[in-house]
Structure 1
């Protein structure tokens, strides 16, 4: 089967530095843009707009470029699983948690455990060996994420249901990336992404209709935000994640998530006027060092 491939290795060495940096910026922007859009649409309604538009765009791209579709039922089944985990479960859990009162800082702190969870899962399911220095970097990353969250005045005063929803989001992104790495690395990103997003749309639509009554206010902000979330986040950022996962160890690629809370904090400061204190800046520096350890040191 013809697949969409790349010659770019996963490395933080120039000039390939642009690939992980672009991923971090694209993924982080989703938190800020999502916060701008949520006042105008219910969480699941926003997800339907996000997933549905992204699926349609990828379908058109696949048709125009004559991208190959999976030929076996098992391949479709694997893509369905990834769509349920990475798209539906992750973002459904995250948006539900935010709706139930979990702050963005607490959400970032919980999702920030993803690299450690992925490293453990990669060792168990993918048989990847994580070196001592890399484990040190992963643990340092958790400390850095905590500093970012504390610097933003994170408070845990919320219900168990909200925390549970964000934990489901963590499980979704962790299990989904591991499953993608194991079963879907040979499949085309255009058609594969279209299938995954169509599945996520099918999950979000009945929830948007049943729980929210299709709660939406068509404002310029919502329209622009939905387009950004669909094209930049659901297509661009997720495709970059899977692309890097093909070319490198799951645990090393996942360590990039340590930089997302700090980058999101910087974007929130610049776009939303959110407070950014010295502790958050220190946390960003610690997470940058942790990513360097995870991606640049040899396994030991």
Structure 2
């Protein structure tokens, strides 16, 4: 296997295009929520998604004979990280979409995660303070968010409830990222992802049992489920590791800023979600703020 720093590891055309493919895959996660939402309550859909993903990943781990995490402490840390990175994050996103928040708006809100993570890591650095570039990026990011959602709070599109859920998803993935950086040791992504999804299922399943709306296994829901399990959960994470092994992590990190506008375009094409001049300006400001903070801090998600 080539080392991550090999100068020839990112020369092939496929590796050059793969970061953009990964970002496109990641962007479809918000769109899939819109496809599946009319046919299943959010927690029930996610619980089944975790079950199917765990079954497939366990089979992959067994066939590949990769090592499982060692020690009770690592299992505990992976379970907690999974509750935050999958359970809390996806649960908040899906519940917010279920209550009317558009795919573009929720993608923009949770797209602030690299910004908040970079700000936190910068504040915890040697000097323990945030530089002027980070403050500028923070102001741009939140200013853009205010432009997009500020005038719509209280309307059917953005209510206080779905906005709080989206912000909860943002907090969950931010805290989960920091928790994983601090506590989780390096381990094969297939076994680690399996344990994290078990943690997400432990959090989500009890909430799914409280939902009264039935799951309708119609073709549209089956398609959304298959895409979520095979493409997002298994394919996306595997592609990311494949890229990191070939030294393409920087390209992925840079292109992650394009997830909110990419999601907005997909939602416009598929669901006719409005693309107003104000929302485009807000998205541009937010993307610029996130890019500025992450680039200046050198943080890699």
Whole-angstrom CA distance in 2 between matches of 1:109 and 1:64: 38
Query: What do you get for the CA RMSD once the two structures are aligned?
Result: 3.9
Match of 2:210 in 1: 210
1:197 positional shift = 0.9
Pair 1:7 & 2:20 matched: no
Rate the CA distance shift 1:101–1:235 in 2: closer, same or farther, 3 A: same
Q: What does residue 219 of structure 2 align with?
A: 220
Q: Partner residue of 1:51? A: 50
Alpha-carbon contact 2:67-2:188 (below 8 Å) kept: yes
Q: What is residue 29 of structure 1 aligned with on the other side?
A: 28
Contact 1:142 1:258 in 2 (8 A): no
In 2, the alpha carbon distance for the partners of 1:295 and 1:17 equals 21
How high is the TM-score relative to the length of structure 1?
A: 0.78
8 A Cα contact 1:106 1:156, kept in partner: no
Q: Shift of residue 60 of structure 1?
A: 1.2
Distance 2:3 2:147 in 1: 36
Query: What is aligned with 1:187?
Result: 187
Unaligned runs of 5+ in 1: none
Render the CA deviation track for 1:93-152: whole Å, top value 9, x for unaligned: 2222233344444433432332332122223557698764455445434445555668xx
> Superposed, which structure 2 residues align to 1:1-300 within 5 Å?
7=4, 18-124=17-123, 132-133=132-133, 136-137=136-137, 139-144=139-144, 154-157=152-155, 158-212=158-212, 215-238=214-237, 257-283=256-282, 285-286=284-285, 289-290=288-289, 293-294=292-293
Question: What is the count of residue pairs matched by the alignment?
Answer: 289
Distance 2:241 2:137 in 1: 22
Q: Deviations over 1:138-174 (max 9, x none)?
A: 5434445555668xx8544355433332222111110
Q: Structure 1 residues 56, 68: closer, same or farther in 2, change over 3 A?
A: same
Q: Distance in 2 between matches of 1:156 and 1:241?
A: 38
Task: Indicate the SS of the match to 1:212.
Answer: coil
> TM-score scaled to structure 2, two decimals?
0.78
